[in-house]
Structure 1
Amino acid sequence: MITFILNNKTIKTSAHSGMTLLDFVRYEQRLTGTKIGCREGDCGACTVLVRTLENDTITYQSITSCISPLGNAHGKHIVTVEGTNLKNKLTTAQEAMKANYATQCGFCTPGFVVALTGFAISNSDKNYSKALDAISGNICRCTGYKSIEKAACQVVEKLENQEKNSFKWLIENGFIPEYFEGIPQRLKEIEADDLDQPKGKYVAGGTDLYVQQADNLIDNSVHLIQEKNFLKGIEINNGICNIGANSTVTDLWNHTELNSYFPNLKKHLKLVSSEQIRNMASFGGNLVNASPIGDMTIFFLALNSKITIINPAGKERQLPLKEFYQDYKTYDLKDGELIKTISFKLPTKDSYFNFEKVCKRTHLDIASVNSAINISLENEKIQEAHVSIGGVAAIPKYLHKTSAFLNGKSLTSEIIMEAGDILQNEISPISDVRGSSDYKRLLGRQLFFAHFTELFPKQFNLNDFVQHA
């Protein structure tokens, strides 16, 4: 029995755990403020908030309910736009949208209201930039985005005097209704043991599977693994970072210690999908999706990561991520096996990491080409180099020859340009909707050069490589 709190109502349902949360909310509960848009997690019209009972702090996150399995709501608090409503007056987010004329057709408005409400009650810094991050997964079809941004600014202004993690303050200032204050205790009281899991397709966040196979997953058995504790967590020991396969981009984003090792981590991660998807999608799912342009796969390849794989009997094996992929959507994973952890050496004071991505829009888009590099230097010589690139081969590509060539070389423009030529011989892009083969070759070259101009701006600029453009 799936048990959770939906707005102010405790739900116990025997509905199929593979049905989408969106369909349950709309068709079983008749809460139609949550809209059906793209059914791919791209438009944000179906945004809801979710809270897990991990501690007594405010830990609500926004997700796209159209690609979230209902079973993942088990033991949690789910909030739709109806659940944010106050009696006889607008909430702060609703009033901001109204005051700034931030709605035209109105279809997308509930999603924006929910996302802005989630921002208000999150642990995020309450500034304008973070507010825009919160609505990065919401799209206005009427091109009214500037007025929506003004509404977000008004919400930020209202939060200037917020008492940290205070439900009471948020309630008194019209951000959320009174019932929110009792949710932590109610979550403790509901019966939320592990769901009975039939044999079926493994599903974690579902952000890719529900785009590709929604109808099949809705009608057939799924084995939900999002809440499996042995797949969770981020640990740092003796210079090694171990990341559970169920961890999300948001978990990395919020990890203080990792941000100290990777000063530009949030800048890189902001290029990965939207806040709603970053809150949902698991790293394990990203790796086994095996997309040739998976952002985090390219990220981890450049870190020369290893993965630990576990079978149903609990036996584990480990292999380098760069040896995991065999052909298009084909990888070294046997029936019943799961990726358990991703591990890599942490950067030192002599190492440098960068991630680059080109796509048709800055955020919430699939890359035409993406690339990452991790190099360590000593006396202006490259001691170790790892380069990865996506969108130019049938698999997420670790550049073995390019990386090997750089090892032991001096850090000069001549060496980098020669490495760029080797890169061109390692890739084999095809023409598709994201660009022609020639275009992707050009992007691959330029992103490779961009790593060095970004990491060593005093030493290199793009003019140093213009003859190879």
Structure 2
Amino acid sequence: MITFILNNKTIKTSEHSGMTLLDFVRYEQRLTGTKIGCREGDCGACTVLVGTLENDVINYQSITSCISPLGNAHGKHIVTVEGTNLKDKLTTAQEAMKANYATQCGFCTPGFVVALTGFALSHSEHNYNNALDAISGNICRCTGYKAIEKAAHQVVEKLEHQKQNSISWLVENDFIPAYFESIPKRLKDIEIADLNQLKGKYVAGGTDLYVQQADHLADNDVHLIAEKDYLKGIKIENGICTIGTNSTVSDLWNHTELNSYFPNLKKHLKLVSSEQIRNMASLGGNLVNASPIGDMTIFFLALNSDITIINEEHKERTIALKNFFQDYKTYDLKDGELIKAISFKLPTEHSFFNFEKVCKRTHLDIASVNSALSITVNNGTITDANVSIGGVAAIPKYLHDTSAFLAGKTLSSETILEANEILQKEISPISDVRGTSDYKRLLGRQLFFAHFTALFPKQFTLNDFVQHA
């Protein structure tokens, strides 16, 4: 029995756990403020909040309900736009949208309201940039986005007066209704048993699978693994970072110690989907989707990561991620096996990391080509290098020959230009909707050069390479 709190109501349902959360709230609960848009997680019309009880405190995050399995709501607090309403007046987010004329047809408005409410409930710093990140997965096609950005700014201005990040303050200042204060105790009082799932397709966040197979998954057995503790967590020990594959991009984003090792981590991760998707998509799912342009796969390939694989008998094996992918959508994973963890060496004072991505729009888009580089330089000599690139082969590509060539060479424009010649021999892009093969070769070259101009700006400019390439 799937049990959770939906707005102010406790739900117990025997509906299929593979059903989408969107269909449940609209068709079973008649909460039609949550809209059906793209059904691919891209437009944000279906945005809801998911509250998870952690150490007596509820952590709220926004997700797109159209690609989230109902079973993942088990034991959580789900909030739709109806659940944010006050009795006789508008909430702060609703009033901001109204005051700034940020609605026209109104179809997208509930999603924006929920996303801004989630921002107010979040533990992130309540500044304007973070507010824009919070609505990065919401699209409006008729009003003009500037009015919505002004509404977000109005919400931020009111939050600036917040004395403490508490539910009671948000209730007193009309961000959320008073019933939110009772939710932690109510969730604790619910007896949450594990869902009985002995078979079916493994599903974590579902953000890839539900885009492709939502109807199939709604009607067939699924084995939900998003709440499996042995697949969770980020551990840093003895210079090694180990990340459970149920971790999300947001978990990396919010990890203070990891950000200290990668100063530009949030800048890189902002190029990955939207906040709603970053909150729900698992890193393991990104790997096994095996997309040739999977952003986090390219990210971890350049870190020369290892992956730990576990089977149904809990026996484990470890392989290099660069050896995991075999052919298009084909990889070294047997029936009943899961990727348990990703591990990699953390950067040292002589190590540098960069991620680049080109797509048709800056945010919330699939890459035409993406690339990452980790490099160690001592006294002007490259002692280690790992280069990855996506969109130019049938698999997410670790550039074995290019990486090997760089190791031991002097860090110079001549070395980089020679390395690009090897890179061009290692890739085999095809023409498709994301660009011609020639265009992708050009992007591969430019992104490779961009790594060095970004990491060593005093030593290189793009002109150092382009005029000779």
Residue 97, structure 1, aligned to residue 83, structure 2: no
- 1:24 corresponds to which residue? 24
Q: Which residue of 1 aligns with 2:353?
A: 353
Please give the secondary structure, in 1, of the residue aligned with 2:57: coil
Contact in 1 for aligned 2:18/2:70 (Cα 8 Å): yes
The alpha carbon displacement at 1:468 in A equals: 4.7
Distance 1:352 1:234 in 2: 21
Which residue pairs with 1:196 in the alignment?
A: 196
- 1:143 Cα deviation from its structure 2 partner: 4.7
Instruction: Trace 1:201-350 onto structure 2 (pairs within 5 A).
Output: 201-350=201-350
Name the residue aligned to 1:466: 466
TM-score computed with the length of structure 2 as normaliser? 0.99
Distance of 2:171 and 2:63 partners within structure 1? 22
> Is the contact between residue 292 and residue 397 of structure 1 (CA under 8 Å) also seen in structure 2?
yes
Is residue 438 of structure 1 aligned with residue 444 of structure 2?
no
* Residue equivalent to 1:414: 414
After the TM superposition, which parts of structure 1 deviate over 6 Å for at least 4 consecutive aligned residues?
Answer: none
1:68 is aligned to 68
Q: Decide whether the 8 Å contact of 1:248 with 1:282 is kept in 2.
A: yes
**Is this contact kept in 2: 1:57–1:165, CA < 8 A?**
no
Distance in 1, matches of 2:360 and 2:432, equals 14
290-299 or 50-59, which moves further after superposition? 50-59
Superposed CA deviations along residues 225-260 of structure 1, whole A, max 9, x for unmatched, are 000000000001100000001000000000000000
- How big is each residue's C-alpha offset from its partner over 1:383-417, in whole Å with a ceiling of 9 and x where there is no partner? 00000000000000000000000000000001101
2:102–2:143 CA contact under 8 A, matched in 1: no
Which whole-Å CA distance do the structure 2 matches of 1:401 and 1:367 have between them? Answer: 23
**Aligned amino acid, residue 443 of structure 1:** L
| % identity of equivalent residues | 84
Per the normalisation by structure 1, the TM-score is 0.99
Give the conservation status (yes or no) of the 8 Å contact 1:58–1:165: no
AA aligned opposite 1:112: F
Which residue number in structure 1 is paired with residue 379 of structure 2?
Answer: 379
* Aligned counterpart, 1:389: 389
In 2, Cα distance between the equivalents of 1:163 and 1:45? 32
Cα distance, 1:164 vs structure 2: 2.6
Helix, strand or coil for the counterpart of 2:280? coil
Letter of the 2:296 counterpart: M
Kindly indicate whether the alpha-carbon contact (under 8 Å) linking 2:234 and 2:242 is maintained by their aligned counterparts in 1: yes
Q: Distance in 2 between matches of 1:84 and 1:143?
A: 23
Post-superposition CA distance 1:142-168 (Å, at most 9, x none): 152100000000000000111333111
Structure 1: stretches of 5+ with no match in the other structure: none
Determine if contact 1:204/1:246 at 8 Å carries over to the other structure. Answer: yes
The one-letter code matched in structure 2 to 1:422 is: I
CA distance in 1, matches of 2:350, 2:249: 25
Q: Give yes or no for contact 1:201–1:221 (8 Å, CA) kept in 2.
A: yes
User: Is 1:153 aligned to 2:153, yes or no?
Assistant: yes
The offset of 1:55, in angstroms, is 2.1
**Aligned partners of 1:205 and 1:282 also within 8 Å:** yes
Q: Does the CA contact (< 8 Å) of 1:162 and 1:169 recur in 2?
A: yes
SS at match of 2:430: coil
**What do residues 84-119 of structure 1 show as CA deviations (whole Å, max 9, x unaligned)?**
000110000000000000011100000000000000
Q: Report deviation, 1:22.
A: 0.1
The residue type equivalent to 2:297 in the other structure is: T
| SS of structure 2 residue aligned to 1:213 | helix
1:453 corresponding residue in structure 2: 453
Please state how far the C-alpha of 1:58 moved relative to its aligned partner. 4.3
Code of the residue aligned with 1:431 in structure 2: it is: S
Give the equivalent residue in structure 1 for 2:113: 113
Question: How many residue pairs are counted as aligned between the two chains?
Answer: 469
Over the residues paired in the alignment, what is the CA RMSD in angstroms?
Answer: 0.7
* Structure 2 counterparts to residues 133-144 of structure 1, below 5 A: 133-144=133-144
